[in-house]
Amino acid sequence: MPNVHTLVLYIENRYPVDGSQHRLLLALYSALPNLTTLHLLKLDTTSSLQHTLSLTQYAPQSRIPTLRHLGIQRGFFRTVQEVIGTVRTQKDVLRSIEIRRTCIPSVVDLLAVLQRELPCLENVEFEENTVGPWDDVWFRWADGEYDRGRHAREMVEEKGVRQTLDEMIAGLRLVRPRS
């Protein structure tokens, strides 16, 4: 399927997962030689008691030379290492990463990996994420702005990815929403 450039995987874990699903995904990735954009939506590795899910079961296991954009949205992860492992697999080719409305423990570790290990990164979108069921991720920016990551778009255009990630790490705040 050489004409397919974008793949959106909407993953629900309401039903038991078996190994054949993962083998089929590996075949799908290899059948997409020109894949530039991959979005992984609604992957929950925390709530299933019957089976264990992992981002690595759904993400490509090897580098995709044409992949430029990775999006992870509305996910829940047991460990930050799941996300870091997926990012590191594609680190030499990714130009853009988008993580939205996702629960990731130890956000600062992920931001540090994005800053240090992705040499080609040109854009980062990191909005409305949490580190657990109770703590929202907020950023206090150098210009005084305080938000859940939306200001990053402007910062990337103005100051570049590295400085934006510096400010995100320095200004990271965890806020428990009022009930």
Burial of 36 from C-beta contacts in 10 A (0-12 / 13-18 / 19+): middle
> Domains in the chain: how many in total?
1
pLDDT in the model for residue 58: 73
Which two structure tokens, joined as six digits, stand for 74? Answer: 């509305």
Any domain includes 1: no
pLDDT per position as a tens digit, 128-150: 999 877 789 999 998 888 999 99
pLDDT per position as a tens digit, 56-70: 667 787 889 999 999
Q: Do the strands 6-10 and 37-41 form a parallel or antiparallel pair, or are they unpaired?
A: parallel
Q: For the domain that residue 94 is a member of, what is the CATH number?
A: 3.80.10
More confident residue, 42 or 23: 42
Any domain includes 129: yes
Give yes or no for residue 117 having a pLDDT over 90.
Answer: yes
pLDDT in the model for residue 113: 94
- The H or E element spanning position 7 is strand 6-10
Give yes or no for residue 119 having a pLDDT over 60.
Answer: yes
Give yes or no for residue 95 having a pLDDT over 70.
Answer: yes
Any domain includes 63: yes
More confident residue, 37 or 82: 37
- Domain ranges, residue 137: 6-175
Average pLDDT estimate for 32-54: 74
Any domain includes 75: yes
More confident residue, 15 or 39: 39
